[in-house]
Amino acid sequence: MDALSGHSVFLLQQLQEQRIQGQLCDCMLVVKSVCFKAHKNVLAAFSPYFRSLFQNSSQKNDVFHLVIQDVGGIGQMLDYMYTSHLDVNQDNVLGILDIAHCLQVPNVLSMCNSFLKSRAPAEGEASGCVPPSSSFPLSGVLPPESECLLGAPLPTDIDLHCPPSEARGPPWAPGSGPRPEGGPLP
């Protein structure tokens, strides 16, 4: 391992250890009453959504409520950001894809896309299936970006969430940014 790789690995290990022990964390994500301590810089480095949220937040505290259905998926996403490890499999790919879409994590979107491509039947296989195109279409798999309403403060009487898998629409495009404040609600 070269010096730069070793340095990077050491840095991430130390940040992960701090996160696990709740030390020097400067924000808390709350999902279904489960709290996840984290470092804004790490989250912002992986997610334009978090970068925008932190830069534009007028909040006095650093607690951010994310209304997402899969608490375990948020834990997996944070683990990926801090360790580069994410176990994508047939059982969790769609849940991880939803969260990566909502939080705008392009690396994870690409990982899920690659996983789904590798599982797509080859042309001529599985009669009745449409042969895969050169790019793997995710339409019908992801919710439109306006349906992923995250962040805080949210009114306590409104339950905004990413829709279940059967109600998904077109994919998020990298660089399209989070839903602007005051944008249309689903």
User: Which residue segments constitute the domains of the chain, with CATH numbers given?
Assistant: 24-120+137-167 (3.30.710.10)
Average pLDDT over residues 74-87: 95
What is d(CA 23, CA 20) in angstroms, rounded to the nearest whole number?
8
The mean pLDDT of the chain is 74
Question: Which range is least confidently modeled, 32-46, 79-93, 153-167?
Answer: 153-167
Q: Which of 40-49, 68-77, 129-138, 170-179 has the highest mean pLDDT?
A: 40-49
What is d(CA 89, CA 70) in angstroms, rounded to the nearest whole number?
16
For residue 97, what are the contacts with CB-CB under 8 A and spacing of at least 6? Answer: 108, 109, 112, 138, 141, 142
pLDDT confidence of residue 120 = 80
**Helix/strand/coil percentages in the chain, nearest 5:** 40, 10, 50
Distance in angstroms between the alpha carbons of the first and the last residue of the chain: 48
pLDDT tens by residue, 97-155 = 999 999 999 999 999 999 999 988 765 455 443 334 333 444 344 444 434 444 433 33
| Torsion sign, CA atoms 48, 41, 141, 144 | negative
Residue 179 — pLDDT band, cuts 50, 70, 90?
very low
pLDDT confidence of residue 123 = 52
161 token code pair? 């969430």
- How many residues make up the chain in this entry? 186
Q: What letter represents residue 17's amino acid?
A: E
pTM of the model: 0.66
Confidence check: pLDDT of 43 > 50: yes
Average pLDDT over residues 80-92: 94
